Amino acid sequence: SSFKYEIVSHDLYREADALERFVIKIEEVLLTIQKELSASAEIIMAPGDLKAYNEATKCWICKKAFLKPSSEALQKFKESKHRLLEVIEWEASMGEDHPGKKKIQKEY
C-alpha cells in the first residue's frame, strides 16, 4: 500500500507535561493537514471522464441513485436566477446613473 506511516522527525520529550505537549503537536499537525487539504486544486479529467460524469445516475462511492430535482423545483430555480440577474443589472445601471450611490452607501 502507498499509505505507509513514516517517521520524518523525532521529538523526544520526557517531562511532566509530555501528554499536553503531545496533544499540542497533534493539533498543529491537524491544522497543517486541514490547511493543505482546503486549498483548491484543478480537476484533471481524462477525455472520457466528462462524458461518464454527465451520464452518471448513481454515486460511485455509495452506489445510491442521485436525486433528480422535480420540474417545478427547476422552474423555481430558473425564475430565482432570472430575478437575481435582473437585480444585478439594475444595481449596475444605478451605479452608472448615480455615481455617488456607492459613496452614500458606505457612509450609511
Over residues 52-94, the pLDDT tens digits come to 888 888 988 899 998 878 889 889 999 999 999 988 888 777 7
What span, in angstroms and rounded, lies between the C-alpha atoms of 29 and 66?
Answer: 36
CA distance 64 to 67: 9
pLDDT at 1: 46
Provide the grid cell at 80. 430565482
Q: Which residues pair with 36 in a beta bridge?
A: none
Residue that wins the pLDDT comparison between 1 and 82: 82
Kindly report the pTM of this predicted structure: 0.34
